[in-house]
Amino acid sequence: MELHSTKQKQALNELFQEADLLSSTQIRDQIVGQLYRKSHQLVKEGVSFTKNKFDHRTEKLDAIFTSPVFGFPIMLVMLGVVFYLTIAGANIPSSMLAELFGWVEGYLTLFFTELNAPDWLHGVLVLGLYRGTSWVISVMLPPMAIFFPTFALLENYGYLPRVAFNMDRLFKTVGAHGKQSLTMAMGFGCNAAAIMSSRIIESPRERMLAILTNNFVPCNGRWGTLIVLASLFMATGFTGGMKTIVTTSVIVGIVLFGIIITFLVSWVLSKTALKGVPTHYTLELPPYRKPKFFDTVIRSSLNKSWSVLVRAVKVAAPAGILTWILANIQAGDSSILLHIVQFLDPLGQAIGLDGFILMAFLIGLPANEIVLPILLMGYLSTGALIDVDGIEDLKKIFIDQGWTWLTALNMMLFSLLHYPCGTTLVNIYKETKSAKWTFWSFIIPTGIAFFVTFLIAQLARILNWV
């Protein structure tokens, strides 16, 4: 057996030596050249054109969508429109769902009292499990059911490669790969999936840049948090349609800020730890194709929303139970939850947040979807239970806890910038096979999140804005 393999190795080495002698640097060019000549010949023989005039629609549209003048404004408007539709459309179904779940909860509580069930059981199952999950669903499902199909329609129409085309120059300037904008686009849906999609980038260096910065694109799990906080705190002086527009602008601003941070981090990394020159690549701009409307809408809203939701609920249920238990087991004079919160509070205050928010982000590590529900459960566990009938009622809870616009803004920024979720981290490890880079993908965003929120909090306090 051993003998066999050494003999085999020897033969292989001889083969390699022989090949080295024969190989030349032009051989790849010759092979590919021959392939192209053959393809050309085949097409010349086997394909005929009856129409001389080509369809110029795609070229005409590209002249607009990828124009140096209109390209970026159009991208911004598209982004704005998608978010506007999401926010405007999600409001009413969200509060309706919340109401529905609240109504069911009343009956559940009644049912538990009927059964003479012990208080702790009711607490764990209804106040922990049921409430945690139902909040996740009512906050997340409506925006998702609008955002995913809209995005998928743009994608299937063929607009996304144009975005990549527009962004290419910017990425080149910071030393990254143009296809990074495609992985970023995937990140809007789910960072964990986007990490996998970074395989389309050939060079390992640029792929690592895409992986390390993907987190700065808010994923679906964070949309809920961003949208709720923006609509509660950022558009207070406005009503009706204006309110939605202001909320949308805030969200677009947050997304742009994330993109700026992406460029900044890519630039710093490509000048330091990941030095190198961006490689060339071919970006295919497919013809614009009219998407199959219902097919796309139904497939993406059902499939994607459903799978993300299932994941959220899977995590939300245990996290809800955990939070309830932590909040209800007494250690000394207060609950375990409060001990954790008090421990985290000074750090939280320094960056304009509080101990509860940091605790929610910690428990929310497995999935960003549950951060807001956990936070609410934490807040509610401290005082009398308030019935939350709609999204607007949430604001009362936050205000009672001493929230200002600064708290909301910094929580949004922290959510945008902080460490990737557990699934994403696992995927980063799987893709890079490196504990070191997985660690950095945790530390870099977290460091930036603390730095940015600290800066804003201190600035706002010095200037007496709050």
Partner 1 sequence: MSNFRIALCGNPNTGKSTLFNALTGLKQHTGNWAGKTVEMKKGVYTYKNDQYEIVDLPGTYSLYSNSLDEEIARDFIVFGNPDITIVILDATALERNLNLALQVLEMTNRVIICINLIDEAEKLGININEKLLMRRLGVPVIKISARNKTGIPMLLDTVSRVISGVIQCTPFQIEYDEETERKIKILEPMIDRIVGHDISARWLSLRLLDGDRQLFEQIEERKARNREVLINGATFHKTKTGIK
| Closer residue to partner 1 (CB): 162 or 418 | 162
What is the smallest separation between the CB atom of 142 and partner 1, expressed in angstroms? 20
What is the smallest separation between the CB atom of 195 and partner 1, expressed in angstroms? 10
The token duo for 386 is: 């308030």
Question: What single letter denotes the amino acid at residue 194?
Answer: A
Contacts for 441 with CB less than 8 Å, ≥ 6 apart: 211, 212, 215, 420, 425, 428
Task: Give a three-class secondary structure readout of 327-378.
Answer: HHCEECCEEHHHHHHHHHHHHHHHCCCCHHHHHHHHHCCCCHHHHHHHHHHH
| Closer residue to partner 1 (CB): 34 or 349 | 34
What is the smallest separation between the CB atom of 186 and partner 1, expressed in angstroms? 9
What is the smallest separation between the CB atom of 28 and partner 1, expressed in angstroms? 5
Q: Which of 95, 154, 136 is nearest to 222 (CA)?
A: 136
| Closer residue to partner 1 (CB): 283 or 362 | 283
Per CB under 8 A, residues contacting partner 1 are 1, 5, 8-9, 11-12, 14-16, 18-19, 22-23, 27-28, 30-32, 34-36, 38-40, 42-43, 45-52, 54-55, 152, 155-158, 160-161, 164, 179, 182, 196-197, 199-202, 282-284, 286-287, 289, 291-292, 299-300, 303-304
Q: Helix (H, G, I), strand (E, B), or coil: what is residue 40?
A: helix
| Closer residue to partner 1 (CB): 44 or 436 | 44
- For strand 330-331 and strand 334-335, is the pairing parallel, antiparallel, or unpaired? antiparallel
Residue 452 bridge partners (DSSP): none
What is the smallest separation between the CB atom of 3 and partner 1, expressed in angstroms? 13
Contacts for 198 with CB less than 8 Å, ≥ 6 apart: 180, 183, 207, 210, 211, 214, 431
| Closer residue to partner 1 (CB): 65 or 403 | 65
| Closer residue to partner 1 (CB): 203 or 401 | 203
| Closer residue to partner 1 (CB): 156 or 410 | 156
CA distance 234 to 139: 18
What is the smallest separation between the CB atom of 224 and partner 1, expressed in angstroms? 21
What is the smallest separation between the CB atom of 162 and partner 1, expressed in angstroms? 10
